[in-house]
Amino acid sequence: MPDDFQNPHPLEPDVSKSLLPQSCQLVIFGAAGDLSWRKLLPAVYNLNIDGVLPTHFAVVGFGLPAEGHLSSDPDEYIRGRAKDGITRFSRQPLDESHWADFARALFFVPGSFNDARAYAQLKAKMEAVDQQFGIPGSRVYYLAVPPTLVGTCVEHLKTAGLIADPQELRSFTRVIVEKPIGRDLDSARDIMRVVGACFAESQTYRIDHYLGKETVQNLLVLRFANSIFEPLWNQKYIDHVQITVAEEEGLAQYDPKTGEMIATRAGYYEGVGALRDMVQNHLLQVLCLVAMEPPWSLKPDVVRDAKVGVLNCLRRMTPAEVEKNVVRAQYIEGDIQGRRVPGYRKEVRESFEVMKKPLPPESVHSTTETFVALKLFIDNWRWADVPFYLRTGKRMPKRASEVAIQFKDVPPVLFNAQPEVPLDPVVLSLRVQPEEGLAMRIASKLPGPKVHIYPVKMEFNYSSSFGGTSPEAYERLILDVMAGDATLFMRRDGVEAAWQFVMPILEHWERMHVRDLPEYQCGTWGPVEADRIIVPDGRRWRTL
């Protein structure tokens, strides 16, 4: 499908229009929800502060706020919600002198996603906003809604005539679909089919915010802009790779003063679990960037071809291999930042009470995994027999995500001749969050007459080297969508390939019908069972 916005910009002949955000409305479906409050509205605010939004731009929220939360003026509701989210979560603090200018471009349409009349109201509102802000009818629909509602939303959009033809020259319509796309391969295909029936692939942006992080993007620069790494980037020199995404947060958030639950993701997370929520998308996407072959250009589809190439080489697991190479677990009561925090099952029960919803029978003794660790292999020439250890969990000691490339040991002679205290291996670690940056651990001689080897760590930190704070991933990605650049978004075949890898694990788990999962205390690095997939290989999980 052709992209109408690839022509050179008339005033900046060297800059493709695809690099410039185009005038549009950002329409957030689920604007009353958690993602919008924490991430999307603060991201738009930061883009505004940084002066990178198009001049003709507005945000229209759509959705149903919690009962009693909607004031008489819906626009004031979303402005209040945005201000609260920006105050709490924004990268840059709320600037009161700037706020009024930003707030005047925020609008809200209350309505249910399956109510056709609401879409008519949305259409009327968008047209009014077009008039007010001089926007040429271009739309970016951000579907910050559960996967089950994606189909409903896009079908209503189509029925209401709110999707422009991709060939349309005067304006564009694009849709951002949030992960997870489906809860298994079939449902993912269903969603993509429904979305595909309404939007062309060139209009569809499947977001994985991990791909918007500086360090993740820097993976490509590191590999392909530095001559020393790529020659070593293969099974000949790399012993193994560890990818960790550790979250400090659990299912629920509590007021630090009163201890009351103030937010919960139970409605989404319970029954989904870490494999679907994190591995199928974030971790596999990062894995792709670590393991992909050099793309021959940076055009979106060339990069995405290279990534899909990795996913297609992932070794599918048999049930026996799932048992051997995958560990799932659930957190129990423990300690985070000096406070006791409850276990997962208790949080699920309390969350449903707070949400005033009945606890589903299968959640009474929930077996949703909050931690998963797995060992996988990429069966291609570059990565033959190199294990990739992936690990993610909630309620871990700290929020920390990294990719660690551990290089092979030097031979056990000379400086590495003492088997009881072997040399620390050379590790290149890329910190995705927090403190984005990279570090390399190498062996060095300690000063002095004797030869004592000591590991030293050379570090590069984005914020201390470049100053300021890196833009949040959502900022970059929203901007990319406005500019029509799909490089950092998942293509349909990539999503399917990721699900195809994950499905044997999910299917095996479903067949097992376990009553309880291994447990780990909140504030620890996961269950002891996780060791069994790495320690027998003579390796250890890294301490982050």
Partner 1 sequence: MTEPSARSVPLGGVERELLRQMRELQGPDDRPVQRTRMANLVIYCTSQERAASLNAEIPEVVNVHPARVLLLVADAESPSMELEATVLVRPLRRGSHGFGFSEQITLTAGRGAMHHLPFAVRALLIGDLPTNLWWAAPVPPPFAGPILYELAEHAQQIVYDSRGWPDPARGVAATAGWLEQVERGGPGSWRIASDVNWRRLKYWRRMLMQSLEGVEDRGLFESAAEIRVEHGPHAVVQAWLLMSWLTDQLGWKVQAGRVEPGVEMIWRFHGPTGEPLLRIHRADDGPADIQRIRIACCIDKHDAALDLFAQDSQRLAMRIEGIDEAPRTLTLPPHSPAELVGRQLSDRERDPVFRASMSVAQVMARSLLE
Active site residues per annotation: 282
Residues 493 and 305: their CA atoms lie apart, in Å, by 9
From the list 115-123, 217-225, 328-336, 366-374, the region that binds partner 1 by CB under 8 A is 328-336
For the bound state, the minimum distance from the C-beta of residue 39 to partner 1, rounded and expressed in Å, comes to 19
Q: Does 465 bind partner 1 (CB under 8 A)?
A: yes
Q: Are 365 and 386 in contact (CB under 8 A)?
A: no
Q: Should residue 114 be labelled a site residue for partner 1 when binding is judged by CB under 8 A?
A: no
Among 63, 196, 210, which residue's Cα sits nearest to residue 142? 63
Distance CA 47, CA 208 (A): 19
Residue 190 tokens, joined: 């269903």
CB of 133 to partner 1, least distance (A): 37
Using the rule CB under 8 A, is 449 a contact of partner 1?
Answer: no
End-to-end CA distance of the chain: 44
- Cβ distance 148 to 138 under 8 Å? no
- Residue 394 CB, nearest distance to partner 1 (Å)? 14
Q: Of 155, 301, 333, 459, which lies in the binding site for partner 1, with binding defined by CB under 8 A?
A: 459
All residues at 6 or more sequence positions from 178 whose CB lies less than 8 Å from its CB, including other chains: 35, 142, 143, 144, 145, 207
Interaction of residue 400 with partner 1, rule CB under 8 A: yes
| Residue 337 in contact with partner 1, rule: CB under 8 A | yes
Question: 147 or 523, CB closer to partner 1?
Answer: 523
User: Is the CB of 104 or the CB of 339 nearer to partner 1?
Assistant: 339
Question: What CA–CA distance (Å, rounded) separates 206 from 405?
Answer: 28
Closest CA to 220 of 315, 286, 281, 167: 286
Judged by CB, which is closer to partner 1: 55, or 461? Answer: 461
55 binds partner 1 (CB under 8 A): no
Q: DSSP letter for 52, please.
A: -
Residues in CB range of 183: below 8 A, 6 or more apart: 147, 272, 276
As measured in angstroms, the least distance from the Cβ of 387 to partner 1 is 14
Tokens representing 419 are 């088997």
Residue 398, interface with partner 1 (CB under 8 A)? yes
Based on the shown chain and the rule CB under 8 A, indicate whether residue 273 belongs to the binding site for partner 1.
no
User: Is position 402 an interface residue for partner 1 (rule: CB under 8 A)?
Assistant: yes
The residue from 7, 87, 132, 418 that contacts partner 1 (CB under 8 A) is 418
| Alpha carbon separation from 362 to 345, 371, 514, 527 (Å, rounded) | 11, 19, 12, 23
In the complex, the smallest distance separating the C-beta of residue 94 from partner 1, rounded to whole angstroms, is: 18
In the shown chain, the binding pattern of residues 245 to 264 toward partner 1, with x for contact by CB under 8 A and - for none, equals ---x----------------
Tell me how far, at minimum, the Cβ of 6 lies from partner 1, in Å.
38
Per the CB < 8 A criterion, the answer to whether 126 and 49 are in contact is no
Phi, psi of 440 (to 5 degrees): -130, 125
3: contact with partner 1 by CB under 8 A: no
432 counts as binding partner 1 under rule CB under 8 A: no
Measured from the CB of residue 317, what is the shortest distance to partner 1 in angstroms?
A: 25
Binning the chain into helix, strand and coil, the percentages to the nearest 5 are 40, 20, 40
Q: Binding of partner 1 at residue 430 (CB under 8 A)?
A: no
Nearer to partner 1, 195 or 404 (CB): 404
338 binds partner 1 (CB under 8 A): yes
Do residues 388 and 240 make contact, with C-beta atoms less than 8 angstroms apart? yes
Number of residues that bind partner 1 (CB under 8 A): 47
The residue ranges that bind partner 1 (CB under 8 A) are: 248, 334-339, 397-398, 400, 402, 409, 418-422, 424-425, 427, 429, 434-435, 439, 441, 446, 452, 454-457, 459, 461, 463-465, 467, 523-525, 535, 538-540, 542-544
